[in-house]
Chain A
Amino acid sequence: MPELNLTSAPAHLRHGSNIGQPLTRRDGVLKVKGQATYAADNHPPGMLFAVMAVSSIARGRVTSLDVAAAKRHPGVIDVMTPDHKPELAIDPEIKTNPFVFRMEVLQSNEVRYANQPIAVVIAETLEAATEGAALLAPHYETLPALIGLDAGESFVPPVVGVGNPTENHRGDVEAELASAEKRIDAVYETPPQYHNAMEPHAIVAAWNGDNLQIDMPTQGLMLSLARVAELFGIAHDKIHIRSPFLGGGFGSKGLMAGPPVLGIMAAKLVGKPVKLVLRREQMYGPVGHRAPTRQRLRIGTDGEGRLTALEHHARTVSSTFDDFYEPAADASHTLYAAPAIRTSHDAVRVNTGTPLFMRAPGEATGSIALESAIDEMAWACGVDPLAFRLKNYAEVEPITGKPFSSKALRACYEQGAARFGWAKRPLQPRQMRDDAGLLVGWGMGTATFPALMFQAEARAVLRRDGSGAMEIGAHDMGQGAWTALAQIAADELGLDIDRVEFKAGSSDLPDAGIAGGSAHTATAGAAIHSAGAAVIAKLADLATSDEKSPLFGAGNAGVIGRDGRLIRRDDESRGESYSEILARAGVAEIEARGTGAPNPAAMEEYAMHAHGAVFAEVKVDPELGQVRVTRMVGAFAAGRIVNPRMVQSQLFGGMIWGLSFALHEEAITDRRTGRIMNANLGEYHIPVNADVPPLDVITVDEHDPHVNALGIKGVGEIGITGSAGAVANAVWHATGVRVRRFPIRIEELLT
């Protein structure tokens, strides 16, 4: 592996605590110079290029492929098809665990969705492979495709999201609704969306005997490795995956998908290293997406604007061959204190690739509907939307009745509203105009995301030369793990960050779990914390049991590591350097391992969530209907902030995605063929610079002793929630038009 020379800009030369410092990205200069090696940047000697041919129909069967024509093309080496491919050790249709999704790896000629891989052409050049794929000119037997939220019979899935119950309730929603003073009943629709990470899925696979070297972006090194091992029937220690940088993942690179498996198969077939990179349009199918939803919210209040009932039902889709159900209605579990709550889901099966987690899966889709509905309810009650939310503030988690491990949402509301100037908002819509005559509207939304923890392990080392190392197979998707986790490592080792060799992004390091669920910093951080503590304890053992040490007899609990020295907690003047301790003990280095994991007892006792409040201003052309967001303020409480600069970036990114959700993103599906008609970044709209207003992020202090040892809650996904609804509500406030189908389009505002 090429050495990663992460930069140590002067900003890093800090002493004392690293956690909490706004260090710049240690990999920033590498990236700016184009020296950060992403998977597709690797070119092992003798490497060939593989290109997938994908289906243009959404349902049916491939009846013929002109393999001969493809093979005749100069430079084409081989064509992998269902009839000509290396055998896998297990049937890819078998779900060996809940984190295994079915994939298309040429196991048959059945087509289950548009853009499904149906063959792979391997050639000496990318151009030859591309043309070879075109020359395959597939013929199909086409069956009518199942498309959209009303395709076929609906059913109630056994679980939604990752093992969440499909239905939840507390209290008697129907009775409360019947006796409510005020009610709303509204239906919202969200479209299919695709992750569209800048870096497409890519793999460079090289077999060396039965050893397998893989370069591939992944948010879950060990999960991917385990899946590859079982698919190819090889031992874990024969596989090495490198994933030092991801050009974004957003959930789509969490679990092993079909295309990288095809890359490994292709390499096996031709006996040479193979690179397979997806074209942008090929990412609209086999690598997951956010499923569309139709959500009905029925809400009731008493005469004073207090919620009495909240019902949230979500219809979504899954593929015809596997199960992932966007848990949209679950968004109503945690935010508003209604005595009666019911959430439920149902689904239909359609001819798409299986939906997957996409940044805030369920939370984002559910949030835009819930926050719109709360806004509608506040208006129906004649109450300011912030006052309405405060009136219905949940002191305990509404669906479970559990206390929160911490919840600084009230402070978020206060600080966000003050920064935004919310108090001046007129209650009525369509009241404000700017100097140019544009309609101005203000809207808000509450943000929330669970504080999750997975499992991780780390290995810590202290060396006689006064340096240290922290090893963990963590993933930097652009969120800043190379920096934030190294900061934690430095603190836990009691070393300056520049003295710590921080290793990550490789499968030969301890398992860091999955970089998902906004839990990576918390989980990997907890493992680093305990590994650091363990190695310091070992060092302390050496010192405190050595008569020659000034720390002799201090006892383990009585010493701490700081700035490369071990010192007595009760007398900081007494201590000695790590180097001295190790030198006297005659060891070059000591090491220890530590783990991070959720605490089941705390989870049983507390509801754990991050919170936030987002305020948005939009302007709308009164006659032409075009919308522009002009200001956003987000105040978030997410426990301990490891690196304020990275956190701000995550929250900015989330807020922009929320704006995108409300106004831009939609995969346009042809209603006859199930093909996606805008599978490119020119026409699948996301906000461009001119769409992104000045963003203001406030991180509200929050100390949480229960979530994990470091008190970290995670900020990766929460920014979308609240933001999407805030923008939608601002559009209503500007225009008086309530749009319930997202993204909001010009034509709906042409009143």
Chain B
Amino acid sequence: MKQFDYVRPATVAEAVAAAAQPGAVYLAAGTNLLDLMKGGVSRPDRLVDVTHLDGLDQIERLADGGVRIGALVSNADLAHDADFAKAYPAVAEALLSGASAQLRNAATVGGNLLQRTRCAYFYDTASRCNKREVGSGCDARDGENRTHAVLGWSENCIATHPSDFCVPLVALDAIVEIEGRSGRREIALDDLHRLPGDTPERESALEPGDLIVAVRLPPAARGFAAHARYLKVRDRTSYAFAVVSAAAALRIENGKIAEARLALGGVAAKPWRARAAEDMLRDVPPTVDAFQEAASRALADAKPSGDNAFKIELARRIVVRALSLAAAGTPVRIPALPASPFASMSGAIHARA
């Protein structure tokens, strides 16, 4: 491997200073970064290991009713925190549908947010990739692109963001707390990931040295606990990235949807919030017809970027199903096969094909 420095800062301030240097990157659990380094995709000069920083591994209930999740909380610990899972069931379900138990035990909240795309051409250093090497081209565009983006892509990049966790988070208006060279700031998760446009190499709103210290869910996020699901269609039952996924959360009052939240995963370079669909669902009864209309609004701008037209129709169907499942009510326990179509579907409303 390429020789690199390894530093283990004692404080957040030291970490930010160390990581602001060119060629430096943060190392969390390394489940993504080390793979990239072994493959020569990422060749940093310096690893700034943040796993020993104090105070970033807490799940705090906030006075205002929100929750603050430290960037170093492991994916597994968060999903298995009973209070958290009860308040934000779709988030827990999404976490448990990702990767494998071993990976979830290691992977951190911050790392999950900033994991890189799984585009095969990005990983394959012999291929041209604008994300990996600015201006080199995009071999995925005319290549094997069955799983690539159908929303928000550009000719320069058709990659998707692979995180499951981010999908319900973005639906619930999660906020990212960042420590940077000029102190602390926060941005909406929806603004963290960037669409490719002409600069696919710029994947997030973060500046050099920016450290994610926490993710916060605002008080309103709790209001959806009774009707929140994550649904993830994949090529095998577990341990696979989403072909398409959706998080659906509803507040139902007097038989009508008071507020809906909907986001899609596996369709774009960011977790895709479907606000037009949410708006349409306000104050209507939770019916399959309404959900179908919402689905077509959510995918109104979708277009295939290659051999992936099926993902648009699949996404519509997933939206309908996820909304139906959410309307039916959050199950008491997270299903043994989280987010799977093979989790028991009893209670689901069936849109007959």
Chain B residue with the shortest CB-CB distance to A436: B345
B337:A690 contact, CB within 8 angstroms: yes
Min CB–CB distance A386 → chain B (angstroms): 27
A746 in contact (CB, < 8 A) = yes
A486-494, A495-503, A615-623, A706-714 - the one binding chain B: A615-623
Which residues of B come within 8 Å of A, CB atoms?
1-3, 40, 100, 118, 120-121, 124-127, 139, 142-144, 146, 233-240, 243, 310, 313-314, 317-318, 320-321, 337, 340-342, 344-346, 348, 350-353
A208 in contact (CB, < 8 A) = no
A750:B1 contact, CB within 8 angstroms: no
User: CB < 8 Å: which of B233, B314, B320, B346 contacts A436?
Assistant: B346
A to B CB contacts below 8 Å, 6 in the list? A623-B320, A625-B233, A626-B340, A677-B124, A690-B239, A751-B353
| Complex: A130 Cα to B126 Cα, angstroms | 17
User: CB < 8 Å: which of A437, A683, A746 contacts B243?
Assistant: A746
Min CB–CB distance A596 → chain B (angstroms): 41
| Complex: A27 Cα to B348 Cα, angstroms | 49
Q: Knowing that A621-B233, A670-B144 are A-B contacts, what are 4 other residue pairs whose CB atoms are under 8 Å apart, sorted by A's residue number? A: A438-B341, A624-B321, A626-B340, A669-B144
| Complex: A310 Cα to B3 Cα, angstroms | 62
Enumerate chain B residues within 8 angstroms of A74, measured Cβ to Cβ: 3
User: CB < 8 Å: which of B118, B121, B310, B320 contacts A746?
Assistant: B310
B234:A626 contact, CB within 8 angstroms: yes
A628:B142 contact, CB within 8 angstroms: no
A624:B236 contact, CB within 8 angstroms: no
Q: Which 6 A-B pairs have CB atoms at the shortest separation, nearest pair first?
A: A56-B126, A747-B310, A436-B345, A690-B238, A677-B120, A690-B237
Given contacts A127-B1, A437-B350, A438-B345, contact A668 B236 (CB under 8 A): no
A33 in contact (CB, < 8 A) = no
The interface bits of chain A over 125-137 (1 if a CB of B lies within 8 angstroms of the residue's CB, else 0) are 0010011001000
| Complex: A134 Cα to B2 Cα, angstroms | 9
Chain B residue with the shortest CB-CB distance to A75: B3
A668:B120 contact, CB within 8 angstroms: yes
Chain B residue with the shortest CB-CB distance to A114: B126
Enumerate chain B residues within 8 angstroms of A130, measured Cβ to Cβ: 1
Chain B interface SS verdict (over half): loop
Min CB–CB distance A243 → chain B (angstroms): 28
User: CB < 8 Å: which of B125, B144, B314, B318 contacts A677?
Assistant: B144
A750:B348 contact, CB within 8 angstroms: no
A664:B321 contact, CB within 8 angstroms: no
User: CB < 8 Å: which of A56, A131, A663, A747 contacts B2?
Assistant: A131
Enumerate chain A residues within 8 angstroms of B234, measured Cβ to Cβ: 626
Chain B residue with the shortest CB-CB distance to A747: B310
A685 in contact (CB, < 8 A) = yes
A463 in contact (CB, < 8 A) = no
Min CB–CB distance A465 → chain B (angstroms): 48
Chain B residue with the shortest CB-CB distance to A743: B235
Chain A residue with the shortest CB-CB distance to B240: A685
Chain B residue with the shortest CB-CB distance to A692: B237
Given contacts A127-B1, A437-B348, contact A678 B120 (CB under 8 A): yes
A619:B238 contact, CB within 8 angstroms: no
Enumerate chain A residues within 8 angstroms of B314, measured Cβ to Cβ: 624-625, 746-747, 750
Min CB–CB distance A324 → chain B (angstroms): 25
Chain A residue with the shortest CB-CB distance to B2: A131
Enumerate chain A residues within 8 angstroms of B40, measured Cβ to Cβ: 134
Residues from 629 to 679 in A contacting B, C-beta threshold 8 Å: 663-664, 668-673, 675, 677-678
| Complex: A131 Cα to B237 Cα, angstroms | 37
Number of A-B contacts defined by CB within 8 Å: 109
Min CB–CB distance A590 → chain B (angstroms): 53
Chain A residue with the shortest CB-CB distance to B341: A621
| Complex: A256 Cα to B307 Cα, angstroms | 39
Chain A residue with the shortest CB-CB distance to B307: A747
B238:A746 contact, CB within 8 angstroms: no
Min CB–CB distance B342 → chain A (angstroms): 5
Given contacts A131-B3, A746-B243, contact A624 B341 (CB under 8 A): yes
Given contacts A672-B142, A677-B124, A688-B236, contact A623 B353 (CB under 8 A): yes
Given contacts A134-B2, A436-B346, A691-B238, contact A626 B341 (CB under 8 A): yes
Enumerate chain B residues within 8 angstroms of A619, measured Cβ to Cβ: 342
B144:A688 contact, CB within 8 angstroms: no
A688:B143 contact, CB within 8 angstroms: no
Chain B residue with the shortest CB-CB distance to A135: B2
User: CB < 8 Å: which of A437, A669, A673, A746 contacts B345?
Assistant: A437
A689 in contact (CB, < 8 A) = yes
Given contacts A677-B144, A746-B310, contact A623 B351 (CB under 8 A): yes
Min CB–CB distance B98 → chain A (angstroms): 12
Min CB–CB distance A635 → chain B (angstroms): 26
The interface bits of chain A over 720-751 (1 if a CB of B lies within 8 angstroms of the residue's CB, else 0) are 00000000000000000000000001110011
Given contacts A672-B142, A677-B144, A747-B310, contact A623 B321 (CB under 8 A): yes
A687 in contact (CB, < 8 A) = yes
The interface bits of chain A over 151-191 (1 if a CB of B lies within 8 angstroms of the residue's CB, else 0) are 00000000000000000000000000000000000000000
The interface bits of chain A over 109-129 (1 if a CB of B lies within 8 angstroms of the residue's CB, else 0) are 000000000000000000100
User: CB < 8 Å: which of A56, A134, A685, A746 contacts B233?
Assistant: A746
B120:A628 contact, CB within 8 angstroms: no
A750:B127 contact, CB within 8 angstroms: no
Min CB–CB distance A622 → chain B (angstroms): 6
| Complex: A127 Cα to B38 Cα, angstroms | 10
Min CB–CB distance B146 → chain A (angstroms): 8
A435 in contact (CB, < 8 A) = yes
| Complex: A436 Cα to B310 Cα, angstroms | 24
Chain B residue with the shortest CB-CB distance to A679: B124
Given contacts A134-B2, A437-B348, A626-B341, contact A683 B238 (CB under 8 A): no
Enumerate chain A residues within 8 angstroms of B235, measured Cβ to Cβ: 664, 685, 745-746
B124:A750 contact, CB within 8 angstroms: no
| Complex: A690 Cα to B335 Cα, angstroms | 13
| Complex: A65 Cα to B284 Cα, angstroms | 67
User: CB < 8 Å: which of B3, B118, B321, B342 contacts A628?
Assistant: B342
Residues from 387 to 413 in A contacting B, C-beta threshold 8 Å: none
Enumerate chain B residues within 8 angstroms of A127, measured Cβ to Cβ: 1
Chain B residue with the shortest CB-CB distance to A677: B120
- Residue among B3, B126, B353 with the highest chain A CB neighbour number at 10 A: B126
- Residue among B125, B233, B237 with the highest chain A CB neighbour number at 10 A: B237
Given contacts A127-B1, A438-B345, A626-B341, contact A691 B126 (CB under 8 A): no
| Complex: A751 Cα to B352 Cα, angstroms | 11
Enumerate chain B residues within 8 angstroms of A626, measured Cβ to Cβ: 233-234, 340-342
Min CB–CB distance B239 → chain A (angstroms): 5
Min CB–CB distance B243 → chain A (angstroms): 6
Enumerate chain A residues within 8 angstroms of B142, measured Cβ to Cβ: 672
A131:B1 contact, CB within 8 angstroms: yes
Min CB–CB distance A372 → chain B (angstroms): 20
| Complex: A160 Cα to B294 Cα, angstroms | 56
A623:B317 contact, CB within 8 angstroms: yes
Min CB–CB distance A584 → chain B (angstroms): 62
